[in-house]
Structure 1
Amino acid sequence: MVTPRREAVNTVGFIDNYCQHYYSIFEDVRHFEAFKYLHLGILSEIPQKSLPKIAKTVGLKSSQSLHHFLRDAQWDTKKLRQMRLWLTRILIGEREIILCVDETGDKKKGKATEYVTRQYIGNLGKTENGIVSVNAYGVVDGITDPLLFQIFKPKNRLKPGDKYKSKPQIAIDMIQESKEWGFKIKLVLADSLYGESGDVISCIEKLQMMFIVAIRSNHGVLIPPGSRKRDNRWKAYQQKLSHRPTETRYLREIIFGKRHRRRYYQISKTNNPDPTGEESWYIMTNLSVDLSPNVAELYSLLNWIEYGFKQVKNELGWADFRLTDYKSIERWWEIIFSAYLLVSIQAASFQFSPQSSPTSTSLVPDSSDSNISQHSQHPDWESGTTWKSALNNLRLIIQPYIFYCLIQSWLQVFNIPGMKHCFLKLIHFMNDFRASPVSFSIAS
């Protein structure tokens, strides 16, 4: 006789509804509960997302079950990634994305953690002992959706069976995989490590995509004998900056002989930059020259993504793992990307306007599906439509559940009539929160 599978413990409504899409991946209901608890803890306001702190925050007696879930439990990380990308594909629909390819690294002590070694960490701008991954994100209507990541495996830390791949080779894999998933990529953005890789550029062009990539000031360009390089006049434009006033920037095209498919630009904070200074940078693109003012605006998205992912890393605990084997780290990062997507889904819903026309399979609701009006009366509710404002609002929604988890032990010491009932009623109100529908059917 087969024992029926018990129902999973409920957490907060919008988290439970989102996580339900991954239910079939976990044969053991306890693993599915750990999956939900991790999402709850990752979205919480605790500054460091260590497993003991997450366990305490979500009401678990110890972090042992969470640690077992990441290190030893039998579930397929690849299937989790596939479901997340399928949900992302549904969220984006037929809209075009800007694909950003970047790397991120974090300092790590010692060498007990797999693939940690002394290496250049781009976001720190220096060589440190640490771990590095290459990441790909899609940007649609100002909202960033996480797509793919791959660990960079340094040659001196390869394990038996590993195959060395450079960061540009990893980037090529992710660009191709993003295309295979059916994302409509209108533009690829990348920094100079990838922009100066002939293989990366050839891959992008072979897939018939547009690109804007950074190049170094000493980047070499072949020109026919007798041709010369010329610099066009500076054009001023207004650069929008995150959390800062708009600044005037300057752009000029650099032409090597005749104009070709690939074009080169210099961007500067002044119209007379110091050639040896850091006030200007260079980019290469295959966009039309008629779009030159937009080239700089579009390329600035890459800096915006770098800033945004740094913020996401800090908020969701990308580097807070206390794990040493990469299988467990990969699982942690995949769940971070899943929580990242959950916030992006809600951010897209907060951004929604009645003039939009989502399809029946979209995760973005029509106006009748949204009931956030009462919840938005909280004095700390943010009316913005950014990813961070969405996260802050979701943190308000999960507060009653988390506070109840933290206070339960005291309620066992001091029996205060009605207090438990009032907490549960408030949690019930939070479970009614529906910024985006997640009830569409999942294809088998």
Structure 2
Amino acid sequence: MTARRPCPPALGPLEDYAARFDDLFFSLAQRRGFREYLTGLLAPRERNKTITCLAGAEPVAGAGMPGVQRLQFFLSESPWEANQVNDRRLDLLREQHAAAPHEGGVIVIDDSGDRKDGTATAHVGRQWPGRLGKTDNGIVTVTTVWTDGRVYYPLRATPYTPAHHFARGRSDPAFRTKPQPAAALAALAARGKEAGFGCRAVVADCAYSVSDDWYLALREAGLPYVVALKPHRGTWARADQPHTPIAAAHPLTWRDAKHPGDWTPVERHFRDGHTETWWAVDARLGGYSPDSPCRLVVATIDPASLPEKATWYLDTNLPHPHAPHAATSAHPAADLAEIVRLYGLRPWIEQSYKQVKDELGWADFQVRSDRAIRRHQTLVNCAFSFCWDQWFAPPGPLDATAPDPCPDQGPERGPRPTPPAPTALLAQGLTGHTFLAHPRRHPQPVVASLDGQGPTLRAPGPDRRGHHRTRH
């Protein structure tokens, strides 16, 4: 058998990471393209990370340059499998002791959209890109993230295809609503659980609680879940009983913190070290009760007023510790504090969006095919996981002889004032940008620039489908 031709190495620690994927690529051009694409995503840029940018070429005029065409072919035409690359990425995370998933974490499911012009690009149509807070032309992707509040990383992504891309529209057998691919992703996570990808529950906001297909897929996969309900979503009940989650919460007794009545105090711990006392209760609504297979848990910072932005109405199939079926349930019982903790991890998917979009160029692709879009998303996730790989890697010697891949030649958009020195402990000494693959810089601060802030501490609103999407 002919020996493989050696591939030009990537810069610094990126080469060790990229080499773990080499057996998934059949040619030298593919291995080189993988390294060049990740290097471009990780390097600091002042313009959108399109292929011309990743190759260091001039926008538009540089599109015909060999380096640009090479990356274009690698992304759109070269015969490699994005699913295999993503599986390898997840295998590497599982092997990393500090980042390995465990039974205390959650899988968060959400969708995120970005504006895209035109009609010829796969998955693009008039829909709800959450960042814009309005219906617009764009692409929406259903994503999953694993997190335990300490580490977090994307698992899989599935672009949502609007109905007009199908010959028979919404009646076409191939058409799927957004909760359907999300449930399919959850089912994939369930099968991965046997390979060590454990989680305590699947968590989602109220956009998914309106879909029967969502619940059916989770139950068939045997997955526990904690999903938010809209406060005014009606359900069947007797005429003299409450018919909405908020109506079920109002009659519960409450006087003050010393006389909480039906409410139980729950201590919430945030990443910055501060804590808040919330209050939670198992409410009764229709078929929801502490003794039923499905529970309605209401959690709020103020039981007297039930503020809209700081009150959660949660549906879960995790049994109450004292429920008759708790001993025989397939899922371990969870008290109120555990339910609140699990849903409190949901904002970490919003944090991951900030990083893959604002730093790593998630929405900067300029390709049209479904395969190329999925490949770009997979490569962005690889770049994200490389940051964790370096965050947990032991510090090594600095190579002072290596050339600077990003020499200081001035900003691409003219002069600008020097930013103030950072004050965060983990990012101390770095610039405002992310020199992720530079061999002369210490590997651990790589993630600090991406991970400078945790999710904001404002509690999520119950309904993100209103005039604007709540960011938390």
- Answer yes or no: same fold by TM over 0.5: yes
Equivalent of 1:64 in 46, 69, 73: 69
Aligned to 2:106: 98
Aligned to 1:271: 303
Tell me the amino acid that sits aligned with residue 181 of structure 2: I
CA RMSD of aligned residues (A): 3.6
Return 5+ residue gaps in structure 1 as ranges: 351-369, 400-426, 436-444
For residue 13 of structure 1, give the secondary structure of its aligned residue in structure 2: coil
**TM-score of the superposition, structure 1-length normalised?**
0.73
Asked whether the equivalents of residues 273 and 280 of structure 1 are also in contact (C-alpha less than 8 Å), the reply is no
Tell me the amino acid that sits aligned with residue 179 of structure 2: P
> Greater helix share, 1 or 2?
1
Q: Distance in 2 between matches of 1:56 and 1:114?
A: 26
1:202-227 deviation per Cα after TM superposition (whole angstroms, max 9, x unaligned):
33234333211011112334446776
Equivalent of 1:127 in 118, 131, 135: 135
For residue 188 of structure 1, give the secondary structure of its aligned residue in structure 2: strand
1:324-357 deviation per Cα after TM superposition (whole angstroms, max 9, x unaligned):
222211111111111122223333x26xxxxxxx
Tell me the amino acid that sits aligned with residue 308 of structure 1: S
Identity score, percent: 25
Aligned to 1:231: 252
Q: Distance in 1 between matches of 2:148 and 2:344?
A: 15
Q: Distance in 1 between matches of 2:423 and 2:66?
A: 31
Establish whether residue 86 from structure 1 lines up as the match of residue 91 from structure 2: yes
Q: 1:303 to 1:176 in 2, by over 3 A?
A: same
Shift of 1:49: 1.4
Q: Distance in 2 between matches of 1:121 and 1:250?
A: 33
Equivalent of 1:147 in 130, 133, 155: 155
Query: How does 1:8-407 map onto structure 2 within 5 Å?
Result: 8-47=7-46, 48-56=48-56, 62-91=67-96, 95-96=102-103, 97-140=105-148, 142-158=150-166, 163-181=174-192, 182=195, 183-223=197-237, 229=248, 230-231=251-252, 233-241=262-270, 246-256=275-285, 258-259=289-290, 260-273=292-305, 277-289=308-320, 291-347=335-391, 349=392, 370-372=394-396, 384=426, 395-396=434-435, 398-399=437-438
Equivalenced residues, count: 376
Asked whether the equivalents of residues 382 and 392 of structure 1 are also in contact (C-alpha less than 8 Å), the reply is no
Q: Distance in 2 between matches of 1:283 and 1:170?
A: 22
1:144-196 deviation per Cα after TM superposition (whole angstroms, max 9, x unaligned):
12211111111112379982111111112111111222322221101112223
Q: Distance in 2 between matches of 1:121 and 1:70?
A: 24
> Greater strand share, 1 or 2?
1
Asked whether the equivalents of residues 114 and 130 of structure 2 are also in contact (C-alpha less than 8 Å), the reply is no
Q: 1:188 to 1:397 in 2, by over 3 A?
A: closer
Q: 1:273 to 1:372 in 2, by over 3 A?
A: farther
Which moves more between the two structures, 197-206 or 45-54?
197-206
Q: Distance in 2 between matches of 1:317 and 1:246?
A: 34
For residue 20 of structure 2, give the secondary structure of its aligned residue in structure 1: helix
Asked whether the equivalents of residues 321 and 332 of structure 1 are also in contact (C-alpha less than 8 Å), the reply is yes
Return 5+ residue gaps in structure 2 as ranges: 58-64, 243-247, 254-261, 322-334, 400-420, 446-472
Q: 1:172 to 1:397 in 2, by over 3 A?
A: closer
For residue 437 of structure 2, give the secondary structure of its aligned residue in structure 1: helix
Tell me the amino acid that sits aligned with residue 180 of structure 1: R
Asked whether the equivalents of residues 152 and 348 of structure 2 are also in contact (C-alpha less than 8 Å), the reply is no
Which moves more between the two structures, 91-100 or 212-221?
91-100
Q: Which portions of structure 1, spanning 4 or more consecutive aligned residues, are displaced by more than 6 angstroms?
A: 159-162, 379-382, 391-394, 432-435
Q: Distance in 1 between matches of 2:237 and 2:204?
A: 24
Asked whether the equivalents of residues 49 and 364 of structure 2 are also in contact (C-alpha less than 8 Å), the reply is yes
Q: Distance in 2 between matches of 1:15 and 1:251?
A: 46
Asked whether the equivalents of residues 279 and 302 of structure 2 are also in contact (C-alpha less than 8 Å), the reply is yes
Tell me the amino acid that sits aligned with residue 287 of structure 1: L
1:345-375 deviation per Cα after TM superposition (whole angstroms, max 9, x unaligned):
333x26xxxxxxxxxxxxxxxxxxx234879
